Amino acid sequence: MSGAYEGSREETFTALRTQLQEAAAAFSDGPGALEGILLGLVDDVDRAVREPLEIFPVCHHSPASAIAMARRLREKQPKVVYLELCEDMAPLLTELRNCRLPVAVQAFASEVDGFPAEWSPLSVVAPITEASAEYQAIAYALDTPGVELVLVDRSSDHVFQWDARGTSAAAPADHDAPPAEEEAALHGEAVGLEIGDLRPRFAELEEHLLRHGRVRHWSEWWHQYVELPLGDSDHDTYRQVMLLIGSLFRRLAPGDPHRVRVDEDRERYMWTRMREHLAATGADPADCLYVCGAFHAASRVAEFGVHGTDTFEIGPRTATTWQHGLIPSSHAAIEAQFGLAAGSVSIAATVWAKNVKRTRVEPYRLAGQAGTKKPRAGKSAGAPAPVAAVPPSDRLTGFLERPPALDRLDEAELLGWSVDIVRAARRNGYLASTADAIAVFETSILLAGMRDRAKPTPYDFQDAAVTCIEKDTVPGRRDVRRLVEIMMGGDRIGRVGYDALPPLARDVHDRLAPLNLKLQKRGVQRALLDMAGRPELERCSDVLWMLRHLMPHGAARPIMGERRLGERSVQESWDLALGTHQRALIELGYEGVSIEQVLEQRLRRTAYAPQATAATVLRCVEDATLYLRSRRLADELGTRALEALSAERNVDGAPEVLRRVRGLLAYYRTSEPVLPPWIESFATTGYAHYCTLLPTAFTDDDATVRQVAAMLGFLFSMESLALSLGCDRTQLELAVAQSHPEDPSKTALLWAAKSHLGALSRADLRAKCDELLGNPLVVPSYPRYLSGFVHALEPVPGLTDFVVEAVSNAFARLPDTVLLPWLPTLITTLRSGGAELAPLLIREAGRIFPGRLSALDAWVPPWRDRPEPEAQYAAPRTGGAGGSALLAAHPGTCDAVARLLGCDGTWETAGPGPSGAALVSAYPDTAAAVAALMAGS
């Protein structure tokens, strides 16, 4: 058979070669580069059609390719199908029968080994629709006994080995109509793989084709000049035309060295794999079919063909562990990833359905495929016998010389489109009427005539609808262009079936089964959990809280109920959209077999990251306690938090460290018999750590007053625990004494700290504030001192009444030129950095100020209504002896307190000097009040 082919090799395209030589001589004034290109195209076609292993060129998501593929498979009945798809994706293809198309085969790697860490995660997707040639080949091979399907393209690992980061694997984006729906992001940032990346890489060529074809974008050109002419063509014509287009785009592609090298290496890789398979199985090339993109079918590498050289060496894969699965896809996602015009894939699906009906070609569908029609009985059983191979004949000459067939106008179809778009426009807020339907109908015919078309295409109709209906505004969420796309088939969204989900996703569905919701359904569903009446729903609540932590926002959103340390809700309400975010749930399955395992891995990864801070690790400790209830993991991460704190040399995370360690300490004190060893070590280490950093932080311009206040809050709140564990308070006193801030707010914060330590009294603080208000040079900066006092409520909440007093004095004494510009600063300070401090001030002000407006005029602030020292109460003396009569009459109470404090001593006898308790003598009000209370009782 090959000998017959060789005998007629020179005669097959002789006529075409002669015509092209004459054309080259006529258009270029003699032979030259043009003749070389034109004859090279014929050589590429001739070489491909004479290859013993039949090459079937396709274009991705092309209805013409799908129809030609289905027809050829039924005629040839190949025993081996070689498919241009990543070879490591082969085990997943059988799961397509459990999915509703379109879906994408995905290879995913969250942890990389052999690639730069910043590339992680790595993702490769290959979308599959029903109107694609590769799906026809897959369905035929998987459902036909004795047929082997072999994927021969480079592995997912080699995709990233060969591709420089930043070089997109997809075609250039078409920005004519950006997708308006969120489904365009279903593939995320994955690298897309498609069979037949058939698009000119020469910008001038594409511009020339679009301009002379009178179309707006590449998808419309392909539909008009390739899809429609090849829709009814025979196999040889389709094959030679596709090879010619692939060769044309290949020869006119710009010489990007990297891209050319990758393309040629892919071709060497595929032919090497096919020859290896033929040698291993002994299969006859005549019984095989090689399905690849038309661009690769016109290859000129030395390894091309079953008799090519075997000089190409396939390199090893990296140590990266790849996970494989199926994720949902959509028409919009395919268009966005591969640079197609919005709506083109939906239009292709409509054209595919029409072609199937018109040509009566029975397509292949996987048995049990969701969302597809079942084959009619008796059709699949009576498959035709394979046809005998015949020498190829020249079909290009006749195809290129034949004028395009004029497709007569289908008035009923166009009229239906016009009525439907007006109806859809009215539903979306447009003031459209029957007159607009007539205008769209006539304008579509007019546009088609201006573009030399007898029948308006969907793109002509879309332009006419936009012109006649949209006018100048879009009243709703969708414009007319998007409405036409939806009307032509819509953005069909695929779904991965339960049986094709990874174990983690199936486990989530099983554990949420008590909610009685259709979790695979797209859209938002409301789940009500009454744990008091149905205790078994507590497990569902645990799953939902973990999903909220792991999945994107909106997948699981709590409406009612919360989860905090030491608190559990008895009723919860959730909005669930797991069907909408099915891709994210599937990718969780690549990281582990259960959501608990994935959450633990992520917490560890976050805690042990090089840039992890103590605050970050404490958050992981809190999450491990909240969601996993794992004391083991919490202790491990707590030890890691201790290490992170010791390594920090700044105070940026001090506020969050204080907040989280306070919450964890309160939780352990109420739920555990003893504190975990790590939190005790954290208290002592943090006490020494912040004491060391305190003097520097007071003078550092990069350290904010809120951060310094958080440091003091940690030291003061952890002081009792730290001292009980062996820390020395002198270290804190020395750190405060060594602090000499220059910033007014930090100075006020230091005064508050000294007040807490007893180095400054309330009277001293009042005196300092009065001195500031009395100094005209300092008055403009007094509000900054007040800001420091407000932040001091974090470490010293006992100063709340004094802060209210200081703020009140500021409002009473500061001039308006100083006070009014300061008010916005005070409000923003409380809102951004002191939101939790405002309730303290409000509550204290409510206690001090009168509750009625009428009482305000006669009200005197308590800090101005203090008794004078000379008017203080003088305690009565008994028997000429000074001191308190109550203590003298009842000395047992004082003796008991002395024994409790470990004080040894005896009562003094009355003498000429002051006698009795000096404290009681200096402040007799308390003793007098107790005496009056006792006398009254």
Report, as an integer, the average pLDDT of 481-487: 80
Provide the b/e sequence for 281-313 (b: ≥16 CB within 10 Å): eebebbebbbbbbbbbbbbebebbbeebeeebe
Q: Which residues contact 150 (CB under 8 A, 6 or more apart)?
A: 80, 81, 82, 83, 90, 273, 274, 277
Residue 433: band (very low, low, confident or very high) from pLDDT cuts 50, 70, 90:
confident
Q: Residue 407: its pLDDT value, please?
A: 58
Report, as an integer, the average pLDDT of 623-632: 90
Q: Is the pLDDT of residue 527 over 50?
A: yes
Q: Residue 21: its pLDDT value, please?
A: 53
Q: Residue 840: its pLDDT value, please?
A: 80
Least confident of 93-102, 774-783, 848-857, 871-880: 871-880
What is the per-residue pLDDT across 261-270, written as a single tens digit (0 to 9) for each?
888 888 888 9
Residue 822: band (very low, low, confident or very high) from pLDDT cuts 50, 70, 90:
confident
**What is the H or E stretch that residue 813 is in?**
helix 800-813
Q: Residue 664, CB half-sphere, CA atoms under 13 Å: how many?
A: 32
Q: Is the pLDDT of residue 216 over 90?
A: no
Q: Is the pLDDT of residue 831 over 50?
A: yes
Pairwise pLDDT comparison (24 vs 871), residue with the higher score: 24
Residue 189: band (very low, low, confident or very high) from pLDDT cuts 50, 70, 90:
low
Least confident of 164-173, 293-302, 463-472: 164-173
Q: Which long-range contacts (CB under 8 A, 24 or more apart) does 419-426 make?
A: 420/487, 421/461, 421/465, 421/469, 421/480, 421/483, 421/484, 421/487, 422/469, 424/483, 424/486, 424/487, 425/465, 425/469, 425/480, 425/483
What is the per-residue pLDDT across 321-357, written as a single tens digit (0 to 9) for each?
888 888 888 887 787 777 777 777 877 888 888 888 8
Give percent above pLDDT 90 in the chain: 15
Q: Is the pLDDT of residue 41 over 70?
A: yes
Q: Give how far Cα 66 sits from Cα of 137, 351, 362, Å.
A: 9, 11, 11
pTM metric for this prediction: 0.69
Does the N-terminal peptide bond of residue 797 adopt cis geometry, omega within 30 degrees of 0? Answer: no
Q: Residue 520: its pLDDT value, please?
A: 86
Residue 202: band (very low, low, confident or very high) from pLDDT cuts 50, 70, 90:
low
What is the per-residue pLDDT across 569-580, written as a single tens digit (0 to 9) for each?
889 999 999 988
The rounded distance, in Å, linking the Cα atoms of 268 and 152 is 10
Pairwise pLDDT comparison (72 vs 10), residue with the higher score: 72
Query: Both tokens of residue 553?
Result: 């926002």
Q: Residue 815: its pLDDT value, please?
A: 80
Q: Is the pLDDT of residue 540 over 70?
A: yes
Query: Both tokens of residue 398?
Result: 């006749």
Residue 640: band (very low, low, confident or very high) from pLDDT cuts 50, 70, 90:
very high
Q: Are 78 and 289 in contact (CB under 8 A)?
A: yes
Residue 403: band (very low, low, confident or very high) from pLDDT cuts 50, 70, 90:
low
Give percent above pLDDT 70 in the chain: 81
Q: Is the pLDDT of residue 603 over 90?
A: yes
